[in-house]
């Protein structure tokens, strides 16, 4: 029984297999799986919209171009039609052009030049004039044309502009001719300088010569300067110094004496004369030069110091002491003046005054080694 059931099952399976083979054998007419295709509806719609939009833009641009062309041709047709109907003879068709602006005329001047005999274009007639001209006989039309006044040209409307443009164009075309050079000429004129100018020139030359060490040239310039300005104190002192440096004491003294005659209170001239006398060993003469004037003390300390020293050397201790006291009133801390005062008092036998002056001299200092040594020795001699 079991074997019967197994055989039955096998037979059923075999039948099913044979059935399957039969179906596959006749599979040419069987259903085949086809992959589903993606929908193209949206892409087609988008492409259609783009094409429609492009065609719309193209049509709109074409319509605008046609409208502009039609507007430009319409006045021409309005002019040609009445003229062709009114006259059988051929006529010259003239179209009025717009008047260019001033800037355009300036940039396109050569193109605007009209050749001689060129007929001026007339403006296009209006619609009413065309209709009236069409209905009017040829004789009336010709009379109307004769009576019409010609329109002025651009050159007549703007004469100044065209004149400037013509002048500019002619200037550009003309060659530049160089100006003839005049031959160089040297003109020498004699100029007479004033006394002040001559003195200033001599002073500059003398100063420059001194700076260069040209003593002879400096001397000549100082002499010329004094000849022009005899009261020039600086020039007289400079020249006296040059003469003194060369050992020409007599010439220097004579030059300074002339200055004292001109200016008796000139302290510098008297001081230089005193030093020249001292250089010559003539102390009384030097004292005479210094005693002849009493200049301001504050600005002439050397003058009074030399004067006090001369009086002391000549034994005039009282007068020398007075001069040193005057100097100390101006410079109380100057050791030299205290030393001079002490010597003057010591010469008069005033030992205590001399010792006080000597102590102040040591206190304030400003003395040389030789003076300090002498001063210490003298104080030791005078005692405490």
Domain boundaries, the chain: 296-384
Instruction: Spell out the long-range contacts of 263-267 with Cβ–Cβ below 8 A and sequence spacing 24 or more.
Output: 263/231, 263/233, 264/292, 264/293, 265/293, 265/295, 266/233, 266/293, 267/293, 267/295, 267/300, 267/303
| pLDDT greater than 70 at residue 363 | yes
pLDDT of 37 over the 90 cut: no
The closest of 261, 256, 258 to 273, measured between CA atoms, is 256
This prediction's pTM: 0.49
Average pLDDT over residues 234-248: 90
| pLDDT at res. 141 | 42
C-alpha–C-alpha distance, residues 72 and 273, integer Å: 117
Predicted pLDDT at 193: 74
Write down the pLDDT at residue 174. Answer: 57
Query: pLDDT averaged over the chain?
Result: 75
Q: What is the mean pLDDT of residues 20-46?
A: 60
Which pLDDT belongs to residue 196?
A: 78
Give the pair of three-digit tokens for residue 287.
Answer: 């004292």
Mean pLDDT of 349-367: 91
The per-residue pLDDT for 9 is: 52
- Residue 256 and residue 249: Cα distance in Å, rounded? 11
| Rounded Cα gap, residues 23 and 252, in angstroms | 162
Range list of H helices, the chain: 2-25, 41-86, 102-107, 109-112, 127-135, 138-147, 154-157, 159-173, 195-212, 215-228, 233-245, 249-262, 267-279, 283-291, 301-313, 317-330, 335-347, 351-364, 369-382
**Cα 310 to Cα 250, 260, 289, 304, distances in angstroms:** 22, 20, 11, 10
Phi, psi of 146 (to 5 degrees): -70, -35
Q: Which residue has the tokens 């059988």?
A: 88
- % residues pLDDT > 70 (the chain): 62
C-beta separation of 296 from 272 below 8 A? no
In CATH, the number for domain 296-384 is 1.25.40.10
């Amino acid at each position: 029984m079991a074997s019967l059931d197994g055989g039955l099952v096998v037979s059923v399976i075999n039948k099913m297999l044979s059935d399957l083979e039969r179906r596959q054998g006749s599979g040419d007419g069987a259903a085949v799986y086809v992959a589903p295709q993606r929908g193209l509806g949206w892409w087609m719609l988008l492409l259609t919209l783009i094409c429609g939009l492009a065609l719309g833009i193209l049509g709109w641009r074409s319509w605008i171009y046609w409208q502009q062309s039609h507007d430009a041709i319409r006045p021409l047709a309005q002019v040609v039609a009445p003229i062709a109907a009114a006259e059988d003879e051929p006529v010259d068709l003239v179209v009025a052009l717009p008047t260019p602006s001033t800037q355009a005329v300036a940039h396109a001047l050569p193109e605007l030049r009209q050749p001689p005999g060129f007929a001026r274009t007339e403006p296009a007639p209006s619609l009413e004039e065309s209709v009236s001209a069409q209905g009017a006989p040829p004789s009336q039309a010709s009379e109307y044309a004769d009576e019409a006044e010609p329109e002025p040209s651009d050159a007549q409307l703007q004469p100044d502009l065209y004149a400037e443009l013509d002048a500019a164009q002619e200037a550009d075309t003309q060659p530049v001719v160089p100006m003839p050079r005049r031959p160089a000429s040297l003109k020498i004129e004699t100029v007479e300088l004033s006394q002040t100018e001559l003195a200033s020139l001599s002073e500059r030359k003398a100063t420059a010569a001194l700076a260069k060490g040209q003593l002879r040239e400096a001397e000549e310039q100082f002499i010329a300067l004094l000849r022009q300005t005899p009261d020039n104190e600086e020039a007289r002192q400079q020249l006296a110094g040059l003469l003194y440096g060369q050992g020409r004491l007599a010439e220097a003294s004579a030059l300074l004496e002339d200055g004292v005659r001109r200016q008796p209170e000139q302290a510098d001239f008297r001081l230089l004369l005193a030093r020249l006398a001292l250089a010559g060993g003539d102390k009384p003469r030097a004292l005479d030069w210094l005693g002849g004037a009493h200049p301001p003390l504050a600005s002439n300390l050397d003058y009074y110091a030399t004067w006090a020293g001369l009086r002391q050397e000549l034994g005039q201790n009282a007068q020398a002491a007075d001069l040193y006291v005057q100097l100390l009133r101006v410079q109380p801390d100057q050791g030299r003046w205290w030393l001079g005062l002490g010597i003057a008092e010591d010469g008069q036998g005033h030992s205590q005054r001399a010792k006080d002056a000597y102590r102040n001299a040591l206190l304030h200092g400003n003395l040389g080694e030789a003076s300090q040594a002498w001063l210490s020795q003298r104080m030791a001699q005078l005692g405490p």
